[in-house]
Chains A and B, each alone.
Chain A
Amino acid sequence: MDFFESIAQSFTKTFITDDRWLQLLSGLGVTVLITLVAAAIGIVLGFLIAMVRSTYDMQLQGRKCMKPSDYVLKVLNFICNFYITVIRGTPVVIQLMIMYFIVFASSREGIVAAFLSFGMNSAAYVAEIVRSGIMSIDKGQFEASRSIGFNYRDTMLYIIIPQAFKNILPALGNEFIVLVKETSVAGYVALQDLTYVGNMIRSRTYEAFFPLITVALIYLIIVLILSFLLKKLERRLRNSDH
């Protein structure tokens, strides 16, 4: 009886006292918010970078620049390459702290710093995923579209990206699953995300089991929901053709 009583007591301390379940809920909110905004930034910025990189690969690689726009593309490609190298080559928690303590040093906007650094981090990975998807489409598709008379942009829009998107969906989904969990370092810049709240409850209550297991389970459930949605989307896209 003693054993069950102590479990009940731990449970109460973790969730009920001081309305700690509400704190966990608000931590979950912060985690979801950062993930959503960062994912949006990651998709938009990642797509732009992928467009630059794959346009360069297809039109200029191994060729000389002939038009002024060729030089612009070359410079843009260099910048994108540099960006991807730096972002992928450094830990996201360092990027987050640089954003918070250096870039946002005066305002200390933790949440904005988190949006930007997780978003920019994700963009580098999304860019490479999208680029690999574009490059995986048979060159004949590109040629067929161009020979009908579509320009480069329309060819991308109507022919290449719709096919590439279906191919990269699993990899893209994986990237967002990783992103959800990466946001768990947001506590470094004074944000009270899910991980931070869990750890705070642990230190206040001296109870490790319930807070940490609960936090782990919540992450797991988010990821399960995300996987389920992705699988559904994949199946829908597969059914739209054969």
Chain B
Amino acid sequence: MASTPDQPASSTSSTPDFDELALLRRAQEGDLDAYDALVRRHQARVYAAVYHMTANHEDANDLTQEAFIKAFRVLNTFKGDSTFGTWIYRIAVNRTLNFLKARRNRQADVSLNDLDFNAETDPDLVAFVSEHTPHQEATLSELQQRLNAAMQKLSERHRLVVTMHDIQGMTHEEIAKVLGCNVGTVRSRLFYARQQLQALLSDYVKSV
């Protein structure tokens, strides 16, 4: 089953996936076919998280590869306390946060992915643009640029919870598990991040 990058993968649930467990055991013995299958299951979701954090396709590509390669090296330390999906996601997020910390002092390059065809036909988005954009001629592409610029102004921690919750659709509990904090912290960070975004995008977003 292929999940879209931003939808929560089934492996984040606490239900054990026996097929995935079998793949994990084989991968732990060095079976690259099995690990390849795991990579294909989780790469889209991991990539999306890193991409939305960095707003740069090349950086997201490098960080995603690094995360999966590092995970393979330390696969024997994976004891199954969480699902593999949560584990690899956490590795990728930690690497991304370290990367962003190092990048903070230099100008961040923005290299956004193109919007897919569905964006132009998404009724929600079409309605949103026509209702909320200050200039009717504003295109989706301009909106994308503004949105990403606003996201990049958030601190990494706040950007992360917005990415995980509002873009990737993860629950507060799942986010808390990945970040190793409590649900209350996730909620408060999300509230603060949304407030900031709302202020930064006030031209586009008016409270309903």
A binds B: no
B-side interface residues toward A, CB under 8 Å?
A: none
